[in-house]
Amino acid sequence: MAIQALDAPRLVASSTPASFQASTPEAIISAALQDRFVASATTAIAAPQTYRVVKGDTIEGISRKTGVPVSTLKRLNPEIFKDGKDAQGRRRTSDGWWIYPGDVIKLDAGCVTPPPPVTPKPPVTPKPPVTPKPPVTPKPPVPSPEALAITKARQTIDTAVIAKPPHDPYQLLTWIDRSTQTLTAADAALATLEQAAQKGTLPYVTFTRYRQKVDALYETYATYMTGPDISSRPYYPTADDSTDGSW
């Protein structure tokens, strides 16, 4: 009968701790350690990961109920521990003072949704260097019509030349016509310079220098006409032979 009494505990349901089912001291110690490990593992598995706030709850009270420090609650529930308003427009503060019935407070990091992985930005392709445009060369100023007329008059006088009379008497009249045209053009150019000098657009000293050039042309022409190269010829032209009486 004693043997049946010792074996009786072994017939209990499997929920009975193993320490009560052991028969030797060594088995009892081993079973007790096993029961302690199973109990702690069962408690860890059964520990809730969230807590739903009820009326009258405070953050400190929830910390005491769940055994989770306030600092951990604050780290796991940033949407509650913040200054301002939540998505429903309810007031919140950074100390967690404002909580409302129905709020779900996370107690374990396992229920916190990890942030999405950060997608690296593609490397920025450097833009090609901008080729500077060549500097724009300013166009020279367009001279006024009066300035163009002055320039043309000066060129006319500068290029006027009374050539030496030809030796061929039949070319003498042609020489006289050309010389007369040269003197006429020089006179017209000198008149243009004179008007410019009177208006102040041409220095008077410049006008005087060009007048001296025209005077020198007339002196050269008169020298050739009265010189032996023409007056000694048998067909010396007279004033009656001239078309305009200029010589």
Confidence band, pLDDT 50/70/90 cuts, at residue 232: low
**Mean pLDDT over residues 201-213, rounded?**
91
pLDDT at position 136, please? 87
Cβ atoms of 53 and 102 within 8 Å: the answer is: yes
Confidence band, pLDDT 50/70/90 cuts, at residue 144: confident
pLDDT at position 113, please? 58
Cβ atoms of 101 and 54 within 8 Å: the answer is: yes
**Mean pLDDT over residues 90-99, rounded?**
87
pLDDT at position 192, please? 93
Cβ atoms of 66 and 51 within 8 Å: the answer is: yes
Confidence band, pLDDT 50/70/90 cuts, at residue 231: low
Nearest to 104 by CA among 52, 63, 49: 52
Write down the pTM of the prediction: 0.40
Torsional sign, CA 174, 179, 157, 197:
negative
Strand partners, 43: none
At which residue do the structure tokens 């939540």 appear? 86
Strand partners, 52: 104
